[in-house]
């Protein structure tokens, strides 16, 4: 068999050694060429193998399948599903602030605001922005300058600046 003769989904029409060979060869972690290599190696010279050798092959394939399923659960669930043999880190307990600690923080904040209010800066957030508009006198000067510019342009016989 040649890897280019595979079907569109990567499945190959090879004789099955055991029920697990189809799932092992269709593993998402194997590339199409690796699948071809895996299946072609496993299907050669089956008639020359003894029953003991075939039983060992089946046992190895079952181990591969169980390891593959463990890999799939780890990759699918991320950090949530750790295998039973690995030491899972204990869940970190969420720390809570005591009532006394919260009261100290609130008292400190009240003291800061009292200091600000004592200094006369009561309206920190409500201060009005400076009015940045031009006064009517400045606008009149600008308009007069623009009219003088345009008068020069028209006197020169041009239509644009």
Cα torsion 98, 100, 102, 108: sign: negative
Local confidence band at 146 (pLDDT 50, 70, 90 cut-offs): very high
pTM over 0.85, yes/no: no
**Alpha-carbon span 62 to 21, nearest angstrom:** 9
Tens digit of each residue's pLDDT (9 = 90 or more) over 59-96: 999 999 989 888 888 887 665 545 555 556 677 888 89
**Alpha-carbon span 50 to 33, nearest angstrom:** 28
């Amino acid at each position: 068999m040649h890897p280019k003769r595979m079907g569109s989904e990567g499945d190959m029409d090879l004789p099955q050694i055991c029920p697990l060979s189809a799932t092992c060869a269709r593993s998402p972690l194997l590339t199409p060429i690796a699948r071809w290599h895996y299946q072609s190696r496993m299907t050669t010279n089956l008639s020359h193998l003894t029953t003991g050798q075939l039983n060992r092959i089946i046992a190895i394939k079952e181990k591969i399948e169980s390891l593959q399923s463990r890999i799939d659960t780890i990759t699918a669930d991320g950090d949530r599903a750790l295998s039973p043999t690995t030491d899972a880190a204990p869940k970190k307990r969420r720390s809570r602030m005591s009532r006394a600690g919260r009261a100290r923080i609130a008292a400190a904040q009240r003291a800061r605001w009292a200091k600000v209010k004592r200094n006369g800066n009561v309206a920190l957030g409500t201060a009005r922005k400076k009015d940045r508009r031009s006064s009517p006198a400045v606008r009149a000067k600008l308009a007069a300058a623009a009219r003088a510019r345009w008068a020069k342009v028209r006197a020169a016989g041009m239509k644009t600046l």
